[in-house]
Amino acid sequence: MLGSTFKIQEFDSILSTNEMMRSLVRKHDVDPFTVIMAQEQIAGKGQRGRKWVSEKGKNLLCSLFYKPEKMEANEQFILTQLISVSIVEAIKTHIIHSSYKLSIKWPNDIYVGDRKLAGILIENAILGNYIQYSIIGVGLNINQEDFSDELPNPVSLFQLSEKKQDIKSVLKEIIKYFEINR
């Protein structure tokens, strides 16, 4: 359960949660199962160097520090499966009506129908044949109502449910399922 393993560090505005986590790792200032959460990312990133755009204080922007036990580098897709399924389970079970068609667009996106709800960016540190640690970045559209026309078909939990969600509570649900599934 949350509290037994994961510790959440909250920030107002940072470059990116993954970058902040990398910085803490370089300084040896991070415990396993640390989560960094920010209200705003100045330079949030998605896959292939794309920018992750988010309105301040409206969405979940976080990175989890995870040290898998004896996971070989060629098994790294398991981490993508783990976080993706955990996000979908948390949303389906506690947040939106089950009639919405949530799907995982491998390797790194969560969709509702044809609209993008979340993106995942995983950075692994590999030594020899094993993953030493992973930084699992998540951007999940929660309370944002308006999106830039430049974004390809985004959607938020608020737009689906017409209810404001507590961002930290959503994070805790995702972490709960991550802990169950790992």
Give the separation between CA 84 and CA 133, rounded to whole angstroms: 18
What mean pLDDT is predicted for residues 44-59?
74
pTM assigned to the model: 0.91
What is the percent of the chain where pLDDT is above 70?
A: 91
Give the separation between CA 10 and CA 128, rounded to whole angstroms: 33
| pLDDT (tens digit per residue) in 23-50 | 999 998 788 889 999 999 986 665 556 6
Written as six digits, the tokens of 59 are 């969405």
Was domain 7-181 assigned CATH 3.30.930.10? yes
158 within 8 A of 147, measured Cβ to Cβ: no
Statement: residue 1 has pLDDT above 50: no
> Which pLDDT band holds residue 78 (cuts at 50, 70, 90)?
very high
88 within 8 A of 109, measured Cβ to Cβ: no
| pLDDT (tens digit per residue) in 111-164 | 999 999 999 999 999 999 999 999 999 999 999 999 888 777 999 999 998 899
Query: How many CB atoms within 10 Å of residue 41?
Result: 26
Give the separation between CA 32 and CA 64, rounded to whole angstroms: 9
**Which range among 19-28, 59-68, 104-113, 148-157 shows the weakest confidence by mean pLDDT?**
148-157
